[in-house]
Amino acid sequence: MAQGDLLLLDDDLAAILSEAREKENVEAGLAQGLILCADWAEMHCAGRAMACTRGCPHCCVLNVAVLLPEAMRIAETITATVWSALQNRLERHCNWERWMDDQERVMRAAFCPLLDTDGSCSVHAVRPLACRGVASLDSGRCRSAFNPIIDDEHDRTVPADLLRQTAYDRAFMALGKALDNHGLDDRSIELGVGILAFARNPELKTLYLSGGRLPRELWG
């Protein structure tokens, strides 16, 4: 990834958000920006091997930080039918699991509340940039690493595609920079906390899109 590529991404994001503000449709601009960031990162690692497949949830116990537009977008995709079942899982997650570090989440098998019954991501089409950037190169090692057993001898290393991770990390940072440059809250938030906040409090979406900052209480 050349520095020039990053500058082009910065320019494209700036153009999208500026036009969206002029047209008074910031929400559409943010959605377009998220798609651009994912496409940009994927372009740099297209065709690279990975062991990850649908229904492979081994790493879905890790903490995931998202930018606020990501949480808002995911909350928008949750239908009323799905929400009735998902709300309890998200609330339990926010009251308990959000405070765990990654090691404790692995030991307690504290899986992401967005997984469906077969272990697949229920919001896969709009999953966060952080999730898109994780790619194991060995499913067996991945399964073993996230096995919740207490053993000092247990090898928890997983061969991963570092280029993919770097690409998505840079896309994440570019989006955060663009948000800040356009007067939007650029803080990240824990995935479940952010989704629950936007889903339960529609006024937060209006506040965010108008350039306001979400309440500090959401960050504990």
The number of folded domains in the chain is 1
**Beta partners for 121?**
115
Residue 217 lies in a domain: no
Residue 165 in any domain: the answer is yes
132 by Cβ neighbours in 10 Å (0-12 / 13-18 / 19+) ranks as buried
Q: What is the pLDDT of residue 81?
A: 81
H helix and E strand count, the chain: 10, 2
In a domain, 178, yes or no: yes
Q: Is residue 67 part of a domain?
A: yes
Is residue 90 a contact partner of residue 192, using CB atoms and an 8 Å limit? Answer: yes
Per run of 10 residues, the mean pLDDT along the chain (length 220 residues) is 83 98 97 98 93 89 97 93 87 87 90 92 96 93 84 78 96 98 98 96 97 95
- Whole domain around residue 195: which residue ranges? 3-212
> If 0-12 CB within 10 Å is exposed, 13-18 middle and 19+ buried, where does residue 71 land?
buried
pLDDT for the residue 220: 83
Q: Is residue 89 domain-resident?
A: yes
Asked, for residue 198, whether it belongs to a domain, the answer is yes
- How many residues are listed for the chain in this entry? 220
Flag whether 145 is in a domain: yes
Which residue is listed with tokens 């920006």?
33
Calculate ∠ Cα 182-184-187, nearest 5°: 130
d(CA 157, CA 155): 6
- Are 192 and 98 in contact, with CB atoms under 8 Å apart? yes
- The pTM of the full predicted model, rounded to 2 decimals, is 0.93
* pLDDT number for residue 187: 98
Greatest Cα pair distance, the chain, in angstroms, is 58
Beta strands in the chain (DSSP E): 65-67, 188-190
With a CB cutoff of 8 Å and minimum separation 6, the contacts of 80 are none
Taken in order 51, 160, 13, 43, the sign of the CA dihedral is negative
In a domain, 26, yes or no: yes
Phi and psi for 160 in degrees, rounded to 5?
-130, 160
